[in-house]
Structure 1
Amino acid sequence: MTHVGFIGLGVMGSRMAGRLLEAGFAVTVYNRTPEKAVPLVNRGARQAATVTELAGEADVVCTCLSMPDDVIEVYTGEGGVLSAARPGTVCLDFTTVGPNTSRKVAEQADKRGIAYLDAPVSGGPEGAEQGTLTIMVGGAKDVWERVRPLLGVLGKTVEYLGESGAGSAAKVLNQYLVAVHTVAAAEAMVAGVAYGLDAGKLYRLLKESYGDSRMLRRHMEQFVLPRQFAPGGAVKYVHKDVRLANELMNETGIGRCLGGQTEAVFAEAITDGLADLDMSAVIQLFEQRVGVVVKETE
């Protein structure tokens, strides 16, 4: 039986680890806040006291962390994964980071005979729970072939994209669209209400028109119209993602266009105390600017 170690038990990681347990994998978990591991331990996971302990016994190490610096520290820092994992171990990083971070860790892993794939995911907590995530994979193709059954437990669409960094590049481009669409939907809905249109009627028309988008539907139905902004994907993380996407845009020569404006909106939202709310909460910036609230009235 493949022994899986899972580090990072937040909104996404806890659900992904749970899927692996349900599929019959032996799973050891670690989280900086130990209490977050308790529900998984109650379902049959073993809890490791340290990253070193987990990495030393796992055949596959999975990580789902918050920020690029967290990935660097967990893998290459003192007592990190690469210092303890056995040669031949496969590491799967599900974190959204820039391709440069993925390549940096992959190079260090390769020196130790450890395989490392960047495998960021899209689909939110509901996708993690249902095993319907989209997983974007970069790294050695033969390693990807070895772990396809495991990834298939977590994702409905699992795509190999190329060498190290390719998966991370695809993910930040996805997040670029997520962030830009989020701001555009917020601006349009606030402008409509400020003009005197009914928010519910406007939304229902937009979702049946060419202006429709998955982000418009997600934000309006789950968060904005019911005025419930507990995350989902928090503002602070989407700000990080669009910043990474803008770095990629600069590297390709496109530069900062819509992404630059979008990054500024998310930065302002963080300054205004919205960092830990769902990304859809950026609409509150525009609501405050014009003195309206977008909510269902019928």
Structure 2
Amino acid sequence: MTSTTIGFVGTGVMGKSMARNLMKAGYSLQLYTRTKEKAQELLNEGAAWKNSVAELAETSDVIITIVGYPKDVEEIYFGENGILENAREGTYLIDMTTSKPQLAQKIDEQAKKKRLYALDAPVSGGDIGARDGKLAIMIGGNESAYEEMLPVFNVMGENIILQGPAGAGQHTKMSNQITIASNMIGVCEAIMYAKKAGLNPERVLDSITTGAAGSFSLSKLGPRMIQGDFEPGFYVKHFIKDMKIALESAKDMNLMTPGLELSLSLYTELAEKGDEDSGTQALIKLFS
């Protein structure tokens, strides 16, 4: 499988580490990203540069995309210079962006017409999970395509589950983001409560991270909140985008999500105060 050439689009906070792990596993990697400087580190490590999405699509066996917003996904997959028009028959297309379930279904429909294999495979685990190759990967699409791509997924993650047909990966990621949305409020409130009560919040975390309150947000982002480290493991602006998609999907299903709505309003306030490029743990600033 390592004779496979992987085309990778998007080298942000998570994408860069995911691409690096694929190279370390022996895959031949070629890159395209809107800002070449962002890819420079990987190019120095041996990845090949392609000048356009079309050029990358023409010469890849597998194409992985992890970009910012659904509009970016739309742009790189559709149109005459997009992936769907330029990929060779039999190519595997894996979108790992957190995007709209309906868009994943649209990509899948077009891919089938062109004898391409599409999977939606959003991830969770932030910068740490990406770096350590321990991401949770939630997948929608055809089962045989999923099985064929399992060696690739295994390099990037360790909790890899096919959730159903096209769009199912994105719906699963929405469930993930809905859970985090309310949880982040709880983590902020808990840390501030500990401080107001005159406790050492780090010591409090030592007790509560291993109990019933335990979560990734509490054990990984709680310490960053206490230390005032607001560097992005996952951007506030991208979390807002995810929550808006989740809210839209929930409304389509007539589902009430008051926790999600509250979290979105708080994060929107945080972004308006200048923290859209901070990590999601910056939410604690509103409580301080």
Asked whether the two chains share a fold, i.e. TM above 0.5, the reply is yes
Partner of residue 258, structure 1: 259
Which of 24, 27, 34 is the equivalent residue of 1:25? 27
Q: What does 1:146-157 align with in structure 2 at a 5 Å threshold?
A: 146-157=148-159
Tell me the CA shift for residue 200 of structure 1: 3.4
Could you report, residue by residue, the CA deviation over 1:133-188 in whole angstroms, capped at 9, with x for unpaired residues?
11111011111111111111111121111100001111111111112111121123
Partner of residue 237, structure 2: 236
- What CA distance in whole angstroms lies between the structure 2 residues aligned with 1:205 and 1:146? 43
| Partner amino acid, structure 1, of 2:254 | G
How many pairs were matched up?
Answer: 286
| Partner amino acid, structure 1, of 2:187 | A
Instruction: Give SS of 2:188's match.
Output: helix
Could you report, residue by residue, the CA deviation over 1:108-157 in whole angstroms, capped at 9, with x for unpaired residues?
22222221100111112222222211111101111111111111111112
Partner of residue 130, structure 2: 128
State yes or no: 1:35 paired with 2:37. Answer: yes
Partner of residue 12, structure 2: 10
Gaps of 5+ in 1: 288-298
Please identify, of 103-112 and 5-14, the stretch whose mean Cα deviation from structure 2 is larger.
Answer: 103-112
Could you report, residue by residue, the CA deviation over 1:178-212 in whole angstroms, capped at 9, with x for unpaired residues?
12111121123224434544433443443354333
Q: What does 1:49-64 align with in structure 2 at a 5 Å threshold?
A: 49-64=51-66
Quickly say closer, same or farther: Cα 1:201–1:19, change in 2 above 3 A. closer
Instruction: Give SS of 1:228's match.
Output: coil
| Partner amino acid, structure 1, of 2:109 | E
Q: What does 1:20-99 align with in structure 2 at a 5 Å threshold?
A: 20-99=22-101
Q: What does 1:255-294 align with in structure 2 at a 5 Å threshold?
A: 255-287=256-288
| Partner amino acid, structure 2, of 1:127 | G
| Partner amino acid, structure 2, of 1:234 | Y
| Partner amino acid, structure 1, of 2:278 | L
Quickly say closer, same or farther: Cα 1:13–1:208, change in 2 above 3 A. closer
Tell me the CA shift for residue 241 of structure 1: 1.3
- What CA distance in whole angstroms lies between the structure 2 residues aligned with 1:173 and 1:270? 23
- What CA distance in whole angstroms lies between the structure 1 residues aligned with 2:148 and 2:206? 45
Tell me the CA shift for residue 29 of structure 1: 0.6
Instruction: Give SS of 2:275's match.
Output: coil
| Partner amino acid, structure 2, of 1:235 | V
Quickly say closer, same or farther: Cα 1:75–1:214, change in 2 above 3 A. same
Could you report, residue by residue, the CA deviation over 1:207-234 in whole angstroms, capped at 9, with x for unpaired residues?
354333221122222x111111111111
| Partner amino acid, structure 1, of 2:253 | T
Q: Is the Cα–Cα contact under 8 Å of residues 97 and 172 in structure 1 kept in the other structure?
A: no
Gaps of 5+ in 2: none
Partner of residue 213, structure 2: 211
Q: Is the Cα–Cα contact under 8 Å of residues 191 and 222 in structure 2 kept in the other structure?
A: no
Q: What does 1:102-141 align with in structure 2 at a 5 Å threshold?
A: 102-141=104-143
